[in-house]
Amino acid sequence: MTTGDGVASVRISLLGAFLVKNERHDHIQLTGKRGPALLAYLARCAGMAAPRERLADLLWSDSDEDHARNSLRQTISILRRDLLKAGVDVIQSRQDLIGLKASAVEVDVEDFEAGLAARSPEDLGTALALYRGPFLDGLHLGSDPFEHWAAGERGRLLDRALESTERLARLVDGEAGLVLAERLLTMEPTREASYRLKMELLAASGQRDKAICTFETCRSMLKTEFGVQIGPEMRALWQSLVSPANGASHPVSQTSANVVRAGQRLGRPSISVADFVNLTAERRDGYFAKGLVQDITTALSEVADYVVVSNVGAVEKPAPGDDAQRPEQLSARYVLGGSIQRSGRDLRVNVHLADAAGGHNVWAQRFDGRSENALEFQDRIAQSIVLAVTLELQLTLWKVRDKSPPGPPEVRRLVNESLVNYFAMTRDSLPRAIELAERALAIAPDNARAKRTLSITKTVALAWGALPSHPDHVERALALAEASVRAVPDDEIARVILSFALETAGRIDEAIVECRHAISLNPSYPSARGDIAELYALRGQVSEALHEASEAIRLGTPDVIDFWRHNSMVVALFADGNDRRALEAARRVVRTKPDFVRGALYWAAAAAATGNNEEASRAVHHCLSQLPHLNLGNVCPGFVPRYVKDMHHSRFLEMLERAGLPRGDTTVLTTDSGRSMAAH
């Protein structure tokens, strides 16, 4: 296999021992250690290039500048010679930059990390099979900067492998899950969560004694290695196994069963629902409080992707060997609690969600109602709590705090319900999200959160084809986003939403400014990173786009909008001319979100660019089956944002035409130089 320009390709394997192979899969022998180290570092750099000065400092930190530069020149010369012997020429120099020809280099780490977003067990298993061992296992130079960089990558990739292997273990059947649990313990023998997973799977399969033995092994290991006690979640699971109430016929308690069932889903933060405090003197309000806890627990258990631990007032026996002499409550990452107050016939329920680990409140809300409508009041509170908790935990996962004022209770409920429909991201859910946000704004016309929500639901509906492309929709979305930023200037969510509205309006440079502002407010916000990656790609800043897309994927999780971050990578790779990788990434996007037509259009273009004509035709038919009106005259700009550079834009349309997208009417487009051109 060669690239489009005839350059022979190589595959660099960084997971496990370093390996580099040519297109015939022959192992290429490299001289010394610094050549492999240089290849490894460049393969992980944004754009696969780095300044000479950085490389010299990285690999020869104990030498002066002149000696380090000279050593770098010699290493590059030897590395080129070794590669040329195998018929490979992938090293290139551009002024003070040394880099690799990205279109001719495959890297296992990229395929590994991209594949971890897979939803199916088969695809996830394929990605995890690439993890042959620790990053650059056995490659040590003695240069502190290189060792620190490699150690950071090694730890990060190990964490991703561990988390994804645990996720896969909860998606497959019990026997296969236990095999994966053992693999986790081989990869990291001191990871308590892996022992807990093994216990849960053993308990679920009726192997109670083995589960208890696993607990003892873990407890002994933690005591010996670190001098610490077993964690509270592990203790709670052990307690459920040894409780006399279980007996021979009930080896796993209901709490443990809840843990196992909830563990089958993606992501599993745990929430305990505490008893609500009755601050009134009336017994009936105590019954109301207990009923409310039951309603909330049931509602959370039905729709949320977390473990719900109820009856937190129950106590557990101290685990063997633990220093604690007193009973403790069942522990969870988050604790939901509250209180009941009464004034005549009026009831007030105060609810708060606390991060037990961090010791701070995540969310709080007050609900008012009438005692004669107690059941209806309970239902309304439970539904509102489910919406709020789901969204707040998503923001917590992204390390984002919503700074916009929430508004009165009904506005909060409508906004939260709108956002739940928004995150579903279908052509049916998005109009519903717009309707709910409109109702919230009608109640509170000055509420920044309602404005922000209506703006993003409109722009995403346009991107989905759920709203007709009309200037009025774009202008209103933009005006709402600008108003929400004016109201709360330091709200990074509002800045990202304004950036997306500006992109929809074709104002790419202004959109980048807003995204940069959002990142300056919160560098860990994955949506901001993903959005700026697409904006950089549209402007032709490919290296920056690839870097930001990688950061977005690293910071994000396999959540409901992860596909959009991967689509940013596709837009960048296509602009870079790396059509093979763009095609692979586009396939993943479409597998994850088949009705995301924007992603499917890049699938068609990348397939056509790589000569996969049958696949390209299939991709176009996929797009037209959902949006029959699409054609070369209205697809870009119109439905898909336009690349700023004419060469990128023209190539995108050319590939779509080659894939079979209908011509449509001739449309006048404005080029980046201000000239007009006819596009068919």
User: Distance between CA 359 and CA 352 in Å, rounded?
Assistant: 13
The two tokens of residue 156 are: 């990060």
Q: Quote the percentage of the chain above a pLDDT of 90.
A: 20
Helix, strand, or coil (residue 130): coil
If pLDDT is split at 50, 70 and 90, which confidence band does 195 have? very high
Tens digits of per-residue pLDDT, 2-29? 554 556 788 999 999 999 988 777 888 8
Mean pLDDT across 626-647: 86
User: Distance between CA 492 and CA 521 in Å, rounded?
Assistant: 6
Lowest mean pLDDT of 29-43, 112-126, 252-266, name the range.
252-266
Q: Which fold has domain 270-394?
A: Rossmann fold (3.40.50)
User: Distance between CA 226 and CA 224 in Å, rounded?
Assistant: 6
CB of 214 closer than 8 Å to CB of 237: no
CATH code reported for the domain at 409-613 = 1.25.40.10
User: Distance between CA 99 and CA 390 in Å, rounded?
Assistant: 44
CB of 439 closer than 8 Å to CB of 410: no
Closest CA relative to residue 637, chosen from 491, 539, 504: 504
User: Distance between CA 7 and CA 174 in Å, rounded?
Assistant: 47
What is residue 268's predicted lDDT score, i.e. its pLDDT? 54
Same fold, 171-264 and 409-613: yes
What are the boundaries of each domain within the chain?
Answer: 1-169, 171-264, 270-394, 409-613
Tens digits of per-residue pLDDT, 252-272? 334 334 443 333 333 456 777
* pTM metric for this prediction: 0.53
User: Distance between CA 665 and CA 680 in Å, rounded?
Assistant: 6
Report which of residues 259 and 100 the model is more confident about.
Answer: 100
Q: Is the pLDDT of residue 409 over 60?
A: yes
Superfamily of the domain at 171-264: Tetratricopeptide repeat domain (1.25.40.10)
Q: Is the pLDDT of residue 297 over 90?
A: no
User: What is the SS3 string spanning 286-297?
Assistant: HHHHHHHHHHHH
Mean pLDDT across 387-414: 75
Q: Is the pLDDT of residue 360 over 50?
A: yes
Q: Which fold has domain 1-169?
A: Arc Repressor Mutant, subunit A (1.10.10)
What is residue 61's predicted lDDT score, i.e. its pLDDT? 83
Burial 566-586 (b: 16+ CB within 10 A, else e): bbbbbbbbbbbbbbbbbbbbb
